[in-house]
Structure 1
Amino acid sequence: MLNTAKRLILPLITASALIALPSFADEASGSKDPLNGQLPLQELRNFTEIFERIRTSYVEEIDDTTLLQYAIDGMLTSLDPHSAYLQPEDFSDLQENTTGKFGGLGIEVGQQDGLILVVTPIDETPAQKAGIKAGDLIVSLDGEAVMGMSLNDAVERMRGEPGTDITLEVRRKNEKELLTFTLTRAEIKVASVRTEKMNGDIGYVRITQFQENTGGELAQAIEDWQSQGKLNGVILDLRNNPGGVLDAAVEVVDSFISQGLIVYTKGRNPNAELSYSATQHTPAGSIPTVVLINGGSASASEIVAGALQDHQRAVIVGTQSFGKGSVQSVLPITEDRAVKLTTARYFTPNGRSIQAQGIRPDIWVEQSEVKSSEQRFYKEADLPGHLSNPTDAEEVTEGSEKAPEIVSELLKRDFQLYEAHTLLRGVSILSPRPES
């Protein structure tokens, strides 16, 4: 089975907040309720005692700085899966995420049967230029087998300083032998928004993650399509989109609705309570819209899907989303260290919390491959001596069938997208037409 596709970066949803720190109690003894602003002295004594025992008795010597970092890590990771202590490398990764730049190969990857599956190579990157193709299975990295290696470990090995080399062994369908590629890492700038104009005048927008410029790129794509002529619908593909910048998600929703609440957050600290509403700038207007989601759609993706669903502005198609309904605030501690802390939950316009629930699609469609039937059906026009059609300008002769409309390669290999496209074609066919 294909696991959730993952970019070679770690997106998260961010919002600013100030956290009130509890004050130390000047008490001689006894424990106090931590909610009243005083720290329990007995637990502090226990901590210092355990700290000293580790320093003096652990099988290997550990310096005090490392032990304190471990303590901070444990304190944060015990809260929830998304709170963490960001040391210099992690903090740098976070900054790379919001700008969409990193050093690597330029491939979107997942995991399949213990191997690393290439979901898609990013255009104009070392992987794409070398000939890596979607569907390739990476067998080894620099001679080390990936079988048994976690997806995160494989991702970290493929990332690196621009200019350094890495050798990949790849298993490709219909190839008897493994293929070997030596790639030179480069600075990769991830395109947050990818677009394609499909047949039937339907625009396809793939958002891979929410970056600072995502909203503007989406609005520009819609405006460009409209300036070129008729636009019958928009497919917004948020599958395997793990989230990103909250403001970008708000801007995306704002492109489809002109009024009303988009999302709001609730937390213990007043500074964590925010709300976002639509503006009058709505490039998509009332254009019929379908949003594609799956189990890899998380966080900011769910904000978009939930808001458009609550406003009945789009039909949500696919499978149930991930269910991450919490907000993480990045609180800098020093110039290169920070705390990523869960400070609030977000809610859709109708007050739904999707934490551990996810967005359920309006139309449930599992992913599969689009296959056409090979069966041949005979028609009246194939029968010898058939009557001609008096209303047809050109008589259909034997074996001369009108060619069906060309379907893009994207639709041929993506059943969920095919269904979304078919839905919008139906809407455009049934929409009122101007009188001739």
Structure 2
Amino acid sequence: MITKDLSGAQRHERRLIALVLLLSFVAGLAWPQAQAGSSQELGRLLQTLQQIRQRHPQTDDLQLMRAATAGLVASLNDPYSSYLSPEDYSALKSEKSGQLIGVGLELAYRDGQVLVMSVLDQTPAAAAGLRPGDQLVAIDDKSLAGLSWHDILRLMQGGIGQGLKLNYRPADGGPPRSATLIRTLLTLSALGFSALPSEVCQLRVRTFFNEFLHQQVQEQLLANMTQCSAGLIVDLRNNPGGLLTEAIQVAGQLGVEGVVVQILGRDGQVQAEATQTESLLPDTLP
């Protein structure tokens, strides 16, 4: 067998060819019934790629591929569709498992505003005094005006021990404030259980963004329901939502029967999701 090393220029050339082929394939999927002029636009795209490679040879081909993929998804103008890089997807999986690096904020993006949905207990955000309803206006002195949700999440990311400066407007209408927090490794506790007076119990569900939530609910109910003969309070305050599958399973465990949610698709069809899990509550519970 004869082998040889490729020069840097040859490697770049092969990666560029692979990129062109990939985009051509994607274009074929995106335009199965191509309109007049689409082939010319594809040609312009390929010319642009060649110009980038010539004028910016330091640009990483993998970065170009990811940017092209993200651009295709972004062109849908669909707030429910987004491209996750391998790094973003890895962070998402870590959060679902209950561990992530952060400051303890659950955020939401509404009408161009970044709002605090909930503040996790015993976290840097809680110690700094942030509250649900606060509006973030800048991260590390970079204004959030006009940024996409993806860009905002990027600004929130960082390593353990790194600082994060937040400028925000308090929910109570007070003057703008700022706080510098230190990112730490957070172990998210999605569930809390406490026994109240008069044999009443409280089940606090802080988030549904935990793929093991239904297992934790089952463990808590089976272990503690003998203390709750007078009633069970399910506390969902400041719960930002999460995994729909977990919410449906937990609803079934808490005695909800039938359809829990209906999803309206782009085609106008309605998909009904019903509970399949048996209730874990005793029949004698009021």
Class of the TM-score when normalised by the shorter of the 2 chains: 0.5 to 0.7
1:187 corresponds to which of 163, 185, 188: 185
User: Which of residues 157, 160, 165 in structure 1 aligns to 2:158?
Assistant: 160
Aligned length: 244
For 2:79 and 2:178, the matched residues in 1 are separated by 37
User: What is the Cα deviation at residue 209 of structure 1?
Assistant: 2.3
1:107 to 64, 80, 105: 105
- For residues 61 and 113 of structure 1, what CA distance do their matches in structure 2 show? 39
- 1:284 corresponds to which letter in structure 2? L
Where does residue 281 of structure 2 map in the other structure? 284
Tell me the equivalent position of 1:73: 70
Provide TM-score, normalisation by structure 2: 0.60
1:68-100 residue CA offsets vs partner (Å, 9 max, x unmatched): 444433433445443443322222222123213
Residue 51, structure 1, aligned to residue 45, structure 2: yes
Using the alignment, how far apart are the partners of 1:140 and 1:151 within structure 2?
A: 13
Q: 1:90 to 1:223 in 2, by over 3 A?
A: same
Q: Would the aligned equivalents of 1:261 and 1:278 in 2 still touch at CA under 8 Å?
A: no
Task: Give 1:7's aligned residue.
Answer: none
The alpha-carbon distance between structure 1 residues 140 and 226, as it changes in their structure 2 partners (threshold 3 A), is same
1:174, distance to aligned residue in structure 2 (A): 9.4
CA distance in 1, matches of 2:34, 2:176: 62
Among 96, 116, 121, the residue aligned to 1:98: 96
With over 3 angstroms needed to count, the CA separation of the structure-2 counterparts of 1:285 and 1:39, relative to structure 1, is same
- Superposed CA offset, 1:153-185 (max 9, x none): 555434310111234467769999877644321
Which of 241, 245, 249 is the matching residue for 1:251? 249
TM-score for both structures, normalised by structure 1: 0.42
> Contact between 2:214 and 2:249, CA under 8 Å: does it hold in 1?
yes
* Structure with larger RCO (C-alpha < 8 A, sep 6+): 1
Check the 8 A contact 2:193/2:201 in 1, yes or no. no
Q: Is the 8 A contact 1:116 1:146 kept in 2?
A: no
- Of Structure 1 and Structure 2, the greater helix share is in 2
Residue in 2 aligned with 1:226? 225
Q: Distance in 2 between matches of 1:42 and 1:169?
A: 47
Amino acid at match of 2:213: T
| Partner SS state of residue 83, structure 2 | strand
Question: Matched residues in 1 for 2:201 and 2:188: separation?
Answer: 24
Q: Secondary structure at the match of 2:106?
A: strand
Larger radius of gyration: 1
Structure-1 residue corresponding to 2:213: 214
CA contact (8 A) 2:135 2:169 kept: yes
CA RMSD, 1 decimal: 4.9
8 Å CA contact retained: 1:115, 1:146: no
The amino acid across from 2:88 in the alignment is D
* Residues 103 and 45 (structure 1), Cα distance of their counterparts in 2 relative to 1, 3 Å cut: same
1:147/1:199 Cα in 2 relative to 1: closer, same or farther (>3 Å)? farther
- What fraction of aligned residue pairs are identical, expressed as a percent? 23
Question: Following TM superposition, by how much is the alpha carbon of 1:215 offset from its aligned partner in structure 2, in angstroms?
Answer: 0.4
Would you say the 8 A contact 2:131–2:171 is kept in 1?
no
Q: Residue 111 of structure 1 contacts residue 151 of structure 1 at CA under 8 Å; is this kept in 2? A: no
Equivalent residues of 2:128, 2:181 under 8 A apart: no
Match of 1:124 among 115, 122, 125: 122
Hey, what's the Cα distance between the residues in 1 that align with 2:68 and 2:172?
Answer: 51
Contact 2:201 2:227 in 1 (8 A): no
The secondary structure found in structure 1 opposite 2:222 is helix
Q: Is the 8 A contact 1:76 1:83 kept in 2?
A: yes
- Do the aligned residues in 1 keep the contact of 2:99 with 2:188 (CA within 8 Å)? yes
Tell me the amino acid that sits aligned with residue 106 of structure 1. G
Instruction: State which drifts further: 146-155 or 74-83.
Output: 146-155
> In 1, Cα distance between the equivalents of 2:206 and 2:68?
38
Query: Displacement, 1:57?
Result: 6.4
Shift of 1:109: 4.1
Question: Aligned ranges for residues 26-425 of structure 1 at < 5 Å?
Answer: 45-46=39-40, 48-55=42-49, 61=55, 66-79=63-76, 80-109=78-107, 118-128=116-126, 130-134=127-131, 141-142=139-140, 144=141, 146=143, 148=145, 152=149, 153=151, 155-168=153-166, 181-197=179-195, 201=200, 203-235=202-234, 237=236, 241-244=240-243, 246=245, 248-257=246-255, 278-280=276-278, 282-286=279-283
How far the C-alpha of 1:223 sits from its partner, in A, is: 3.2
CA separation in 1, counterparts of 2:207 and 2:197?
Answer: 22
Distance 1:211 1:154 in 2: 22
Please, which runs of 5 or more residues in structure 2 have no aligned partner?
1-24, 266-270
5+ long unaligned stretches in structure 1:
1-23, 25-31, 268-272, 289-427, 429-436
Cα distance in structure 2, aligned partners of 1:51 and 1:170: 41
Within 2, Cα distance between the matches of 1:276 and 1:101?
Answer: 29
Partner residue, 2:3: none
2 CA distance for matches of 1:114 and 1:78?
18
Could you tell me how far 1:244 is from its partner in structure 2?
1.8
Decide whether aligned partners of structure 1 residues 258 and 66 sit closer, same or farther in structure 2, where only a CA change above 3 A counts.
Answer: closer
Residue 209 of structure 2 aligns to a residue in which SS?
Answer: coil
Deviations 1:256-276 (A, max 9, x none): 3498787899x9xxxxx9x98
